Amino acid sequence: MTHNTVFDKSSDFPENPNEQLGFEIDPGDKHWSFIPEFYPSDFTQMKKRKLRRYGGGCEGESVSLKQVKNREIHIKGLMLRSELATFQEIMDYNQKVDLLSPVNPDGGMECFIKSAELGNQKGYDPQTQQRIFEYRIDLISTGRDETDHEQNAIVTAIVGGNEVLGTTDDTFISPLQ
């Protein structure tokens, strides 16, 4: 198991390759953040595209982009007994959250929680004298942080310490509209 660390900036990758990356799920306006003791064993991102395929003559097949879906993030890891209450908050939370990690674009990504699953007890941590449980979280990006041209001012403020001025959900225009 590798320990989770909180990072200071969105682009912070530890200089020492033996140091762990940071990971956090932050609802922004609530009194809790999910920062498990251990870094997730699985932190994968996927982006699907639908393509139009036609032709097939002498020059080969023509391909064009039909639709781009938002990123899907799958997180699987272990958490301590003391982190169960916060995980229960995640299971019941129905609003946007900020997924903070240096592996995300600009260090953070606004997402909706698609599903959260609390698994079985997987062991015992003798240092903290707590039981260890498995968890899984699937998130879907809102799309706000997926292009280099637009930044999510909320995530930027959290990871960069800047103030958010005049930002509303109405200000985002998807490049696919």
Answer yes or no: is 42 within a domain: yes
Give strand pairing partners of 131: 124
- In terms of average pLDDT, the best of 6-15, 80-89, 104-113, 141-150 is 80-89
Answer yes or no: is 53 within a domain: yes
Q: What's the number of domains the chain is made of?
A: 1
Residue predicted with more confidence, 9 or 77: 77
Question: CA nearest 103: which of 4, 27, 176?
Answer: 4
Check: CB of residue 83 under 8 Å from CB of residue 34: yes
- The Cα 40–Cα 93 span in angstroms is 20
Place of tokens 């997924």: 99
Judging by DSSP bridges, how do beta strands 130-141 and 60-68 pair with one another? Answer: unpaired
Answer yes or no: is 177 within a domain: no
Tell me the pLDDT tens digit for each residue of 40-78: 999 999 988 888 888 776 777 888 888 888 899 999 999
What is the reported pLDDT for 118?
Answer: 97
What is the reported pLDDT for 17?
Answer: 75
- Whether the predicted pLDDT of 175 surpasses 80: no
Q: Which two tokens stand for residue 96?
A: 């946007």
Answer yes or no: is 32 within a domain: yes
Neighbours of 153 (CB within 10 A): 19
Q: Which two tokens stand for residue 120?
A: 């079985």
- The Cα 94–Cα 114 span in angstroms is 9
Tell me the pLDDT tens digit for each residue of 17-36: 777 778 899 998 778 899 99
Answer yes or no: is 2 within a domain: no
Answer yes or no: is 167 within a domain: no
Contact residues for 6 (Cβ-Cβ < 8 A; gap 6+) = 22, 24, 35
Answer yes or no: is 130 within a domain: yes
Answer yes or no: is 84 within a domain: yes
Average pLDDT value for the chain: 78
- Give the domain CATH number at 40: 2.40.30
Tell me the pLDDT tens digit for each residue of 134-172: 999 999 999 887 764 355 444 444 444 443 333 344 444
